Structure 1
Amino acid sequence: MRKSKKANQNLRNIVNERIDILMNLAEKETKRGNTERVKRYVLLSRKLAMKIRMSFPKRWKRQVCKKCDSFLIYGLNSTVRTNPKESCVVITCLNCGNIVRIPYIAEKKLKRQLKYKNRVESNLKAGENSDSNLNLTENSNIENN
């Protein structure tokens, strides 16, 4: 028999809370320097998400090294750089040397779309102003005749 959606949602909420607790503990232990405990917390939180076939929360996904399972704290055990040539953010784990590149093309695309939209709107406004000027000159020509 299939589980109801409500029961499944309750289970997801419980697992999300548990993942948050484990990842907060991992963050604290990383600052203390206890790497074995950090790896255990990360492993448990990933297993919880996999058990109920839920994707790992995005807010934690980028703070975990996929190669060595260490919790990444920027400036402490990882570096973050932007690479404008490749349009990406480069995160390097200082424990194992793993490099993760996260593209920011979506942000550039959004900026480009907004710029285009503003240009079109300003052209429309300029066109309306020129049309109203034409109407005024036409009206004055009609009155003069």
Structure 2
Amino acid sequence: MFFSHPDLAQRYVDLARRISMRCKVRIPRKWRRRFCRRCGSFLWPGVNCRVRIRQNRFPHIVITCLKCGNQRRVPIK
């Protein structure tokens, strides 16, 4: 769906987030990490987001949305 109709994929992401907020249901962590917090787009590594592994102060993964530039840091255990 994402490659053939990206506008529909964006619409489905918006609907899922809106329904979960209205019904007070948590979206699972593995799916929550696939959404950009700033622009709400579905993140597909290599297509519209960049994924980097950093070892600076603590090991973490940096996911950068290429649409809005927002960065998300996910700690590596």
Normalization by structure 1: what TM-score? 0.48
List alignment gaps of at least 5 residues for structure 1. Answer: 1-27, 108-145
The number of residue pairs the alignment matches comes to 76
State whether structure 2 residue 6 is matched by structure 1 residue 34. yes
Per-residue deviation at 1:33? 5.2
The answer for the alignment partner of 2:65 in structure 1 is 93
The answer for the alignment partner of 1:121 in structure 2 is none
Give 3-state SS (helix, strand or coil) of 2:19's partner: helix
CA distance in 2, matches of 1:33, 1:73: 14
List alignment gaps of at least 5 residues for structure 2. Answer: none
Query: Among residues 19, 23, 26, which one is paired with 1:55 in the alignment?
Result: 26
CA distance in 1, matches of 2:5, 2:46: 14
The answer for the alignment partner of 1:71 in structure 2 is 42
* C-alpha RMSD of the superposition: 1.4
Higher relative contact order (CA 8 A, sep 6+): 2
Q: Which structure features the higher share of strand residues?
A: 2
Structure 1 stretches of at least 4 aligned residues deviating more than 2 Å after TM superposition:
32-35
Quote the sequence identity (%): 37
The answer for the alignment partner of 1:80 in structure 2 is 51
Q: Which structure features the higher share of helix residues?
A: 1
Task: Report which of the two structures shows the higher radius of gyration computed on alpha carbons.
Answer: 1
